[in-house]
Amino acid sequence: MSPQSVNTRNPRPVRDVVFVDGVRTPFGKAGDKGIYHGTRADDLVVKCIRELMRRNPSLPAERIDEVAIAATTQTGDQGLTIGRTAALLAGLPQSVPGFAIDRMCAGAMTAVTSTAGSIAFGAYDVVIAGGVEHMGNHPMGAGADPNPRFLSERIVDPAALNMGNTAENLHDRFPAITKQRADAYAVASQTKLAAAYAAGNIQPDMVPVAAQRPGEGFKLHTTDEPPRPGTTLDSLAELRTPFRAHGRVTAGNAAGLNDGATAAVLASAQAAEELGLKVKMRLVSYAFAGVEPSVMGIGPVPATEKALAQAGLSIEDIGLFEINEAFAVQVLSFLDHYGIKDTDERVNRYGGAIAVGHPLASSGVRLMNQLARQFEQDPTVRYGLTTMCIGLGMGGTVVWENPHHADFGKDA
C-alpha cells in the first residue's frame, strides 16, 4: 500500500500541545563552595518531578506517558538513562518510561520539543520534560574525547571547543557590541532579577531543596545562589578577561558555572481539558539551526527565523522574549539583528542567566517558566518566544501563545 493511500484512509490530525506547569530548583554555584556540593544531580531532578505531581493533584501518575530528562554530561549521577531512573526515584509507576537527551545547553528545550512532537502526533497525552546539570560534579567537557579529525581536518575551529572563546569571536564579528555595552546589559540583568525577586515573580516556580554539604548539617535552599545584586559598571570594569588578553568577556557579563534542575508538564489540549489541568501556554512552533561553531552565540537568529516562518509570524508579532544569557554579547547580537534596543522592556523582564545562572541542560525550562508567568501578568501579549544558543554552533527557538490573550486559539 502506498504512503499516499495510507494517508487518505487514515488521516492523522496534529493536536495542540500545551505547557501545563514548570518548576525548578534554586540554582547553585558549581564547586566545593556551592550549595549543592555533596548533592546528587538525579536527586535534584526527583525534587522537580515530585513537586510537579504535588502541584497538579488532578494528574494521575499513571497518565504520564514519558519522562524525558536532559543532561550534557551523561555519566555518574547524570547517567544511567536519567529520565527513566529519575521517574523511578520520584515514585512514578514502573509503567512510566523515560529517556535521556543531550543537546548541550538546549537539553531541556529539546526534551520539551521532542516530547511535544510526540504529543502532537498522538503517541503521548501527558509527559514530563526537563533537564539537569551539576557542573560541580561534572565540569564542562570533563571526560570528553573530541575526535582528532575536528582539528586535523579543520572541521571545527579549535576556539569553538571553548565557549568563552566563541563569545570573544562574536565581539570580533560585531565590533559595535563593545565591552561597555555588554557590561551595561549585564548590570541590567542583575537589576531586573533583583526586582523580580522583590515582586515575588521568581519564587512561585521554585522547589525548596534541603541539601547537606560535606561535614555540615542540612540547609533548606529557597533562593538562587549566583545573583549579585548591586552590581555596577565600575565593578564589572575591574574584572579580568580570562579568554583573551585585553578581551571583552568576563565573569560579570557571562553566565557562571552552575548546578540545578528543571522539569515541566506538557499535554495535549484535549488531555489537559479532560484532566482539569490549567494551561499556561500553547506551543506554536519550534526550530533548531546550525551555525559556525566558532560563533555559536549567533545560533538563536537562524533558529528564530525558522520558527517564525513555521508559525506564519514575524518578529513584530512577538511581545515577550526570553533569551538565555550565556553571554551578553550573544543576546546583543540577536537584538541587533532584529533592530531591538538593548533596553527593550519585552526582553528578559525578570533578568536572565547572567544573574540567575545557567546549569546547561536545565535552562530551557527556566526560560519557559518565566515566559509563562509573564503571559499571566500581561494578557495584552499574544505571542512570546524562548531562545538560546547551543554549544558547537547551534540555536534553538520555541514560539508560544498566551492563553490569557483575547484572541487565544483563533486561526491556530
Place 412 in a pLDDT band, splitting at 50, 70 and 90: low
Q: Does the annotation mark 105 as catalytic?
A: yes
11 backbone dihedrals φ, ψ, rounded to 5°: -65, 140
Q: List domains and CATH numbers for the chain.
A: 13-136+255-401 (3.40.47.10)
Q: Does the annotation mark 48 as catalytic?
A: no
Place 193 in a pLDDT band, splitting at 50, 70 and 90: very high
Question: Which amino acid belongs to residue 105?
Answer: C
DSSP characters for 91-127? Answer: T--TT--EEEE--GGGHHHHHHHHHHHHHHHTS-SEE
Residue bearing the bigger pLDDT, 332 or 149: 332
Is residue 372 within 8 A of residue 202, CB to CB? The reply is no
Alpha helices in 199-299 (DSSP H): 233-237, 269-275
d(CA 339, CA 213): 46
pLDDT tens for residues 316-366?
999 999 999 999 999 999 999 999 999 999 999 999 999 999 999 999 999
Q: Is 6 a residue whose pLDDT tops 60? A: no
Q: Is 341 helix (H, G, I), strand (E, B) or coil?
A: coil
Say which of 48, 134, 171, 389 is annotated catalytic: 389
pLDDT tens for residues 371-381?
999 999 999 99
Is residue 267 within 8 A of residue 56, CB to CB? The reply is no
Say which of 37, 171, 221, 358 is annotated catalytic: 358
Share of the chain above pLDDT 90, in %: 89
Looking at residue 5, its pLDDT comes to: 46
pTM: 0.95
Q: Does the annotation mark 337 as catalytic?
A: no
d(CA 402, CA 411): 14
pLDDT tens for residues 276-295?
999 999 999 999 999 999 99
Looking at residue 12, its pLDDT comes to: 76
Say which of 37, 48, 105, 138 is annotated catalytic: 105
Q: Residues with Cβ < 8 Å from 277, sequence gap 6 or more?
A: 20, 21, 56, 58, 59, 265, 267, 271
d(CA 266, CA 365): 11
